[in-house]
Every structure is written in C-alpha cells, then in structure tokens.
Amino acid sequence: MRLSVVLDVNDLPGLVPFWEAALGYESTFSLPEFEVLRPHEGEPPGPVFILQRVPEGRAAGKNRMHVDVHPPLELGVPALVERLEALGGRRVGAPVTDLLEAIDSWWQVMADPEGNEFCVVADQGHPPPA
C-alpha cells in the first residue's frame, strides 16, 4: 500500500516552486491539471505530493487535514520559514510551543500563497523558537 497527498490549487504553476521548497521534493510528472512531486533521489522516502488544479477557490474555515513539514536539523525551522515567506507563504500566528516541555517539539503554522495551511515542525533537538 502507498499514500499520496493531493492538494487542490488554483495557480498550479505558481505553487509548484513553493511546495518543492516546502517539502524538499522535485517535480517528476506533469499534466495540464496535475503536478506530481516526489522526494529527491537519495532522500528518505515519503508520500507522493500531488498538486491538482481546480476551478473553485479554497473554502473558508479551518482545514480538516493539513501537512506537517519536518525540516532537517541543519536547515532548521526559522530558515525554512524564511525561505517559504520569500516564495509567498505567510506565518499564521506565533510559534506553537504547547508541547515544548513535554516532548521537546514546537511548530509554526503557515499558509501557502493560496491560504492552504500547514505546519513547519521542529522535532526534538531543534532549538526553541526565538
């Protein structure tokens, strides 16, 4: 069995570079309505991430499901967040530190350029937010 994650988008070509940077993936297959992203060769395996062009905009309200991106320690959350902001992403609120003491983990909620929310997660070993 395998897992693919599909994200509905309006601006397919505009969001490909954003999600390649967010996930550390590369585009491996394109159709007019789909873009398939996969981990780079030699990287840890992960689910296929598919961007699917749809005509309707994002529905208002909280996402029922979201993606958590776990950057490697050498990149770190602040650097990835800054990279994604430069590509049109935005922070949603302050870093969430509810689990910092319990499991040494925190995250930054973000939105891509179309408002799709996801989290950049600092796993154990990452420094706490500034």
**pLDDT tens per residue across span 70-122:** 999 999 999 999 999 999 999 999 999 999 999 999 999 999 999 999 999 99
Helix, strand, coil percentages (3-state) for the chain, rounded to 5, are 20, 35, 45
What's the order of all strands across the beta sheet hosting 117-122? 67-69, 117-122, 106-111, 90-91
Q: Phi, psi (5° rounding) for residue 105?
A: -140, 145
Q: Give the residue from 7, 5, 3, 4 showing the smallest Cα distance to 111.
A: 7
Which token pair is 122?
């600092």
| Domains identified in the chain and CATH numbers | 1-55 (3.30.720.120), 66-130 (3.10.180.10)
Which token pair is 109?
């909620």
pLDDT of residue 103: 93
| Phi-psi map region of 78: left, alpha, beta (phi>0 left; psi -120 to 50 alpha) | alpha
Predicted confidence band at 2 (pLDDT cuts at 50, 70, 90)? confident
Mean of pLDDT values over 42-55: 92
* Position 61 pLDDT exceeds 90: no
Measured between its terminal Cα atoms, the distance across the chain in Å is: 40
